[in-house]
Amino acid sequence: MKRSFSIRWPLFGLALLVGLLAVACETSTPQNTFAPAGDVADKQRQLFLMAMWPAVAILVGVEVVLVLSLILFRRRRGRQLPKQVHGNTPLEVAWTLAPLLLLLGLAVPMVALIFELGRNPKAEALPIRVIGHQWVWEFQYPTFADGQGRPLTIIGTPENPPELHIPAGREIALEITSADVIHSFWVPRLGGKLDAIPGRVNRMWIVVNEPGVYPGQCAEFCGLLHADMRLKVVVHETEADFEGWVREMLSSGSGGGR
């Protein structure tokens, strides 16, 4: 049997991956789901890790047994034909029940977090309407109205994406919908996505603890310039900063409706 394609090739690939991983850690990753800046994203990351580590353990176990069985039981000249083992019922029961219990164990925190993230926003939360358009986001602040009683409205262009300003530490209640096709509102460091569906309002809450600027983008394919449908969330350190921004927008008139 030919052995020229030895273990060296896979090892080379692995080394390359590790090297690239090292390089990647140096660069900035503004949409990294593993660098949460708010409660929601952090809980989602923890749940992911809770499922990931057992998965990694099982993966390593399966691959080791697989490779070992190729090495240990490789066909050699003069080897007897193997014993014809047809199965083993206790073993089957064991490897049915063990994963079942493990998975049901994972289901408990999963369901708990689904209901926690799915609760209604608190009464003191700041409401913001998010409206998807092909291929730009619109944000409305119903609690801040201009002289004519229209809500403070921010809208961008595909070339110049809009900024969503919020205060740190306060719960934000997002009401997400669409004016045309289905979009999905996503700012990875702040939390998972929620679809913007025409004719329907989806609600989600977020809390951001760290002030800063967080990029996000539409996550549901929405046509030609889907890739350009971006946004930035600007998180102000204090309520006062945020209210200053609101006053500035209302007085400059730049925040008016479309």
Partner 1 sequence: MAVAWEPIRMIEALRRVRREAATYRGLWSWIATVDHKRIGIMYGVAAFAFFLAGGIEALLIRLQLARPGGDVVSPEVYNQLFTMHGTTMIFLVVMPLASAFFNLVVPLQIGARDVAFPRLNAFSFWVFLVGALFLHSSILAGGAPNAGWFGYAPLTELPYNPGHGIDFWALGLQIVGISSMASAFNFIVTILNLRAPGMTLFRMPVFTWMTLVTSFLIILAMPVIAVALFQLEFDRLFGANFFNPTKGGTPLLWQHLFWIFGHPEVYILILPAMGIVSEVLPTFSQKPLFGYPFVIFSGIAIAFMSFGVWAHHMYTTGLGPVANSAFGVGTILIAVPTGVKIFNWLATLWGGNVSLRTPLLFAVGFVAMFVIGGLTGVTHSMVPSDYQQQDTYYVVAHFHQVLFGGALFALFAGVYYWFPKFSGRLLDEKLGQLHFWLMLIGFNLTFQPMMILGMLGMPRRIYTYPEGMGWDQWNLLATSGAFVIALSVLVFMVNVVRSLRRAERAGADPWDGRTLEWSIPSPPPPYNFARIPVVRARDDFWHRKYMEDAQGRPVPVVAGGSGEVESGAPEEEIHMPSPSFFPLITAIGFPIIATGFVFAEYAVVAAGAVVLLYGLYGWALEPATE
Q: What residues between 136 and 175 interact with partner 1 by CB under 8 A? A: none
Q: Is residue 42 within the footprint of partner 1 (CB under 8 A)?
A: no
Structure tokens at 195: 């679809």
Q: Alpha-carbon dihedral of residues 113, 115, 121, 123, nearest 10 degrees?
A: -110
Nearest CA to 188 out of 230, 154, 155, 146 is that of 230
> Distance of alpha carbon 65 from its chain centroid, rounded?
33
| Binding-site member from 42, 146, 175, 180 for partner 1 (CB under 8 A) | 180
Which stretch, 147-155, 222-230, 235-243, 247-255, contacts partner 1 (CB under 8 A)? 222-230
For the purposes of burial, counting CB atoms within 10 Å of the CB of 88, is it exposed (0-12), middle (13-18) or buried (19 or more)? Answer: exposed
CA–CA gap between residue 3 and residue 198 (Å, rounded)? 59
**Residues 18-37 within binding reach of partner 1 (CB under 8 A):** 20-21, 23-24, 27-34
Which stretch, 107-115, 148-156, 165-173, 248-256, contacts partner 1 (CB under 8 A)? 107-115
- Choose between 84 and 252: whose C-beta lies nearer to partner 1: 84
Q: Is residue 8 within the footprint of partner 1 (CB under 8 A)?
A: no
- Choose between 170 and 203: whose C-beta lies nearer to partner 1: 203
To partner 1, the closest distance from the beta carbon of 148 in angstroms equals 27
To partner 1, the closest distance from the beta carbon of 108 in angstroms equals 10
**Residues 51-90 within binding reach of partner 1 (CB under 8 A):** 51-52, 55-56, 58-59, 62-63, 65-66, 69-70, 73-75, 79-88
Q: Is residue 15 within the footprint of partner 1 (CB under 8 A)?
A: no
Peptide bond into 135 cis (omega under 30): yes
Q: Is residue 11 within the footprint of partner 1 (CB under 8 A)?
A: no
Nearest CA to 166 out of 89, 245, 249, 88 is that of 245
DSSP 8-state class, residue 35: S
Q: Is residue 225 within the footprint of partner 1 (CB under 8 A)?
A: yes
- Choose between 209 and 254: whose C-beta lies nearer to partner 1: 209
| Binding-site member from 172, 218, 233, 246 for partner 1 (CB under 8 A) | 218
- Choose between 91 and 123: whose C-beta lies nearer to partner 1: 91
Q: Under DSSP, is residue 224 helix (H, G, I), strand (E, B) or coil?
A: coil
**189 with 35: CB under 8 angstroms?**
yes
Nearest CA to 165 out of 228, 252, 256, 231 is that of 231
